[in-house]
Chain A
Amino acid sequence: MITNTETGKVELQPEVLEAVVVRFVGDSGDGMQLTGTQFTDTSAMFGNDIATFPNYPSEIRAPQGSLYGVSGFQVHIGSVEVSTPGDDVDLLVAMNPAGLKTNLYAVKPGHTIIVDTDSFTKKNLEKAEYKTNPLEDGSLENYRVIEVAMSSLTKEALKDVEGLDNKSITRSKNMFSLGMIYWMYNRSTDHSVEFFNKKFKSKPELIEANTKVLNAGFYYAETLELIPNSYTISPAKLAAGTYRIIMGNAATAWGLLAAAEKSGLELFLGSYPITPATDILHELVKHKHFGVKAFQAEDEIAGVTSAIGASFAGDLAITTTSGPGLALKGEAIGLAMIIELPLVIINVQRGGPSTGLPTKTEQSDLLQAMYGRNGESPVIVIAASTPGNCFDFAYEAARLALEHMTPVILLTDGYIANGSAPWKIQTVADMPEIKNRKITEVKENWHPYNRDEKTLTRDWAIPGTPGLEHRVGGLEKDSVTGNVSYVPENHEKMTHTRAEKIRLVQNNIPDLKTEFADSGDLLVIGWGGTYGSLHSAVKQINDEGYKKIGLAHFNYINPMPKNTEEVLSRFKKIIVCELNSGQFASILRINHSKFEFFQHNKIQGLPFSNDELIEQFKKLV
Chain B
Amino acid sequence: METTAVKKYTFKDFTSDQEVRWCPGCDDYVILRSMQKALPEMGIAKENAVFISGIGCSSRFPYYMDTYGMHSIHGRAPGIASGVKLANPDLSVWVMTGDGDSMAIGGNHFIHVLRRNIDLNIVMFNNEIYGLTKGQFSPTSLIGQKTKSSPYGNTQPPFSPGELALGANARFFARIGGNNPKAMTQIFIDAHKFKGTSLVEVLQNCVIFNDGCFANVTDKDVKEDKQIYLEHGKPMIFGKNSDKGLVLKGLKLEVVTIGENGITQEDLLVHNAKEQDKTLHQMLVRLEYPLATGIIRSFEDVTLEEREDYLTAQVKANSKFKKTDDLFFSGETYQVK
- Measured between beta carbons, the chain B residues less than 8 angstroms from A473 are 62-63, 69-72
A309 and B327 form a contact (CB under 8 A): no
- Measured between beta carbons, the chain A residues less than 8 angstroms from B335 are 241-243
* Residue of B109, B316, B321, B334 touching A45 (CB-CB under 8 A): B334
B312 and A291 form a contact (CB under 8 A): yes
* Residue of B85, B324, B333 touching A261 (CB-CB under 8 A): B324
A473 to B65 Cα, complex, angstroms = 13
Asked if A305 meets B79 with Cβ closer than 8 Å, knowing A312-B84, A426-B328, the reply is yes
Q: Which residue of B lies closest to A471 (CB)?
A: B69
B87 and A425 form a contact (CB under 8 A): no
A468 and B47 form a contact (CB under 8 A): yes
Q: Which residue of B lies closest to A298 (CB)?
A: B112
* Residue of A314, A332, A464, A484 touching B63 (CB-CB under 8 A): A484
Asked if A288 meets B316 with Cβ closer than 8 Å, knowing A245-B332, A305-B72, the reply is yes
Asked if A428 meets B324 with Cβ closer than 8 Å, knowing A266-B87, A471-B16, the reply is yes
Q: Does B249 contact A (CB under 8 A)?
A: no
Q: Does A463 contact B (CB under 8 A)?
A: yes
Q: Does B325 contact A (CB under 8 A)?
A: yes
B63 and A474 form a contact (CB under 8 A): no
Interface size class of A (residues with CB under 8 A): 35 or more
A467 to B66 Cα, complex, angstroms = 10
* Residue of A44, A243, A302, A310 touching B84 (CB-CB under 8 A): A310
* Residue of B45, B73, B76, B324 touching A290 (CB-CB under 8 A): B324
Asked if A331 meets B73 with Cβ closer than 8 Å, knowing A473-B62, A483-B18, the reply is yes
* Residue of B16, B87, B336 touching A315 (CB-CB under 8 A): B87
Q: Does B323 contact A (CB under 8 A)?
A: yes
B70 and A475 form a contact (CB under 8 A): no
A470 and B80 form a contact (CB under 8 A): no
Of A44, A261, A308, the most chain B CB neighbours within 10 A belong to: A308
B86 and A290 form a contact (CB under 8 A): no
* Residue of A315, A331, A427, A466 touching B328 (CB-CB under 8 A): A427
Q: Does A287 contact B (CB under 8 A)?
A: yes
* Residue of A241, A314, A472 touching B88 (CB-CB under 8 A): A314
A257 and B324 form a contact (CB under 8 A): yes
Q: Does B91 contact A (CB under 8 A)?
A: yes
B86 and A472 form a contact (CB under 8 A): no
* Residue of B45, B68, B69, B109 touching A302 (CB-CB under 8 A): B109
A463 and B323 form a contact (CB under 8 A): no
A425 and B328 form a contact (CB under 8 A): yes
- Measured between beta carbons, the chain A residues less than 8 angstroms from B312 are 288, 291
Of B16, B70, B82, the most chain A CB neighbours within 10 A belong to: B70
* Residue of A239, A317, A339, A471 touching B83 (CB-CB under 8 A): A317
- Measured between beta carbons, the chain B residues less than 8 angstroms from A141 are none
Write out, one digit per residue, whether chain B residues 67-109 have a CB within 8 A of any chain A CB (1) or not (0): 1111111001011111111111011000000000000000011
B62 and A257 form a contact (CB under 8 A): no
Write out, one digit per residue, whether chain A residues 240-255 have a CB within 8 A of any chain B CB (1) or not (0): 1111110000000010
Q: Does B156 contact A (CB under 8 A)?
A: no
A288 and B16 form a contact (CB under 8 A): no
B324 and A469 form a contact (CB under 8 A): no
A427 to B308 Cα, complex, angstroms = 29
Write out, one digit per residue, whether chain A residues 403-436 have a CB within 8 A of any chain B CB (1) or not (0): 0000000000000000000001111110000000
Interchain nearest-CB distance for A273 vs B (Å): 15
- Measured between beta carbons, the chain A residues less than 8 angstroms from B46 are 466, 469
- Measured between beta carbons, the chain A residues less than 8 angstroms from B323 are 261, 428
Q: Does B246 contact A (CB under 8 A)?
A: no
Interchain nearest-CB distance for B211 vs A (Å): 27
Q: Does B331 contact A (CB under 8 A)?
A: yes
* Residue of B81, B324, B328, B332 touching A309 (CB-CB under 8 A): B81
A242 and B83 form a contact (CB under 8 A): no
Q: Does B337 contact A (CB under 8 A)?
A: yes
Q: Does B311 contact A (CB under 8 A)?
A: yes
B327 and A254 form a contact (CB under 8 A): yes
B86 and A293 form a contact (CB under 8 A): yes
A290 to B316 Cα, complex, angstroms = 8
Q: Which residue of A lies closest to B65 (CB)?
A: A471
B86 and A268 form a contact (CB under 8 A): yes
Q: Does B319 contact A (CB under 8 A)?
A: yes
Within 8 A of B (CB), among A326-353: 331-332, 335, 339
Q: Does B145 contact A (CB under 8 A)?
A: no
A44 to B332 Cα, complex, angstroms = 10
Interchain nearest-CB distance for A186 vs B (Å): 17
Interchain nearest-CB distance for A29 vs B (Å): 26
* Residue of B70, B87, B329 touching A472 (CB-CB under 8 A): B70
A266 to B62 Cα, complex, angstroms = 26
Write out, one digit per residue, whether chain B residues 98-138 have a CB within 8 A of any chain A CB (1) or not (0): 00000000001100100000000000000000000000000
Interchain nearest-CB distance for A435 vs B (Å): 19
Asked if A463 meets B48 with Cβ closer than 8 Å, knowing A258-B324, A289-B319, A331-B73, the reply is yes
Interchain nearest-CB distance for A308 vs B (Å): 6
Asked if A305 meets B324 with Cβ closer than 8 Å, knowing A289-B316, A425-B329, the reply is no
B325 and A428 form a contact (CB under 8 A): yes
- Measured between beta carbons, the chain A residues less than 8 angstroms from B52 are 309
- Measured between beta carbons, the chain A residues less than 8 angstroms from B334 are 44-45, 47, 242-244
- Measured between beta carbons, the chain B residues less than 8 angstroms from A287 are 321, 327
A471 and B62 form a contact (CB under 8 A): yes
B88 and A305 form a contact (CB under 8 A): no
A313 and B84 form a contact (CB under 8 A): yes
Of A241, A309, A462, the most chain B CB neighbours within 10 A belong to: A309
A101 to B165 Cα, complex, angstroms = 55
B18 and A306 form a contact (CB under 8 A): no
A295 and B82 form a contact (CB under 8 A): yes
Within 8 A of A (CB), among B297-334: 308, 311-312, 315-316, 319, 321-325, 327-329, 331-334
Q: Does B39 contact A (CB under 8 A)?
A: no
- Measured between beta carbons, the chain B residues less than 8 angstroms from A429 are 325
Q: Does B50 contact A (CB under 8 A)?
A: yes
Asked if A290 meets B336 with Cβ closer than 8 Å, knowing A469-B68, A474-B72, the reply is no
- Measured between beta carbons, the chain A residues less than 8 angstroms from B81 are 309
Within 8 A of A (CB), among B241-259: none
Q: Which residue of B lies closest to A288 (CB)?
A: B315
Q: Does A299 contact B (CB under 8 A)?
A: yes
Asked if A312 meets B328 with Cβ closer than 8 Å, knowing A302-B112, A463-B91, the reply is no
A41 and B332 form a contact (CB under 8 A): yes
A295 and B86 form a contact (CB under 8 A): yes
B336 and A241 form a contact (CB under 8 A): yes
A305 and B80 form a contact (CB under 8 A): yes
Within 8 A of B (CB), among A449-498: 462-475, 483-484
A525 to B47 Cα, complex, angstroms = 51
- Measured between beta carbons, the chain B residues less than 8 angstroms from A308 are 72, 79-80, 83
Q: Which residue of B lies closest to A242 (CB)?
A: B333
Of B66, B112, B327, the most chain A CB neighbours within 10 A belong to: B327
A289 and B91 form a contact (CB under 8 A): no
Q: Does A158 contact B (CB under 8 A)?
A: no
Q: Does A270 contact B (CB under 8 A)?
A: yes
A242 and B79 form a contact (CB under 8 A): no
A310 and B327 form a contact (CB under 8 A): no
Q: Does A16 contact B (CB under 8 A)?
A: no
- Measured between beta carbons, the chain A residues less than 8 angstroms from B112 are 297-298, 302
- Measured between beta carbons, the chain B residues less than 8 angstroms from A270 are 79, 83
The 7 A-B residue pairs with the shortest CB-CB distance, nearest first, are A309-B83, A473-B71, A305-B79, A289-B319, A306-B83, A313-B87, A309-B80
Other than the known A44-B334, A306-B80, A425-B333, what 6 A-B pairs have Cβ atoms closer than 8 Å? A41-B332, A243-B333, A308-B79, A310-B83, A464-B91, A474-B73
Listed by A's residue number, 7 A-B pairs whose Cβ atoms lie within 8 Å are A312-B68, A312-B84, A313-B88, A315-B83, A471-B16, A471-B69, A473-B69
Q: Which residues of A contact B (CB under 8 A)?
A: 41, 44-45, 47, 238-245, 254, 257-258, 261, 266, 268, 270, 287-291, 293, 295, 297-299, 301-315, 317, 331-332, 335, 339, 424-429, 462-475, 483-484
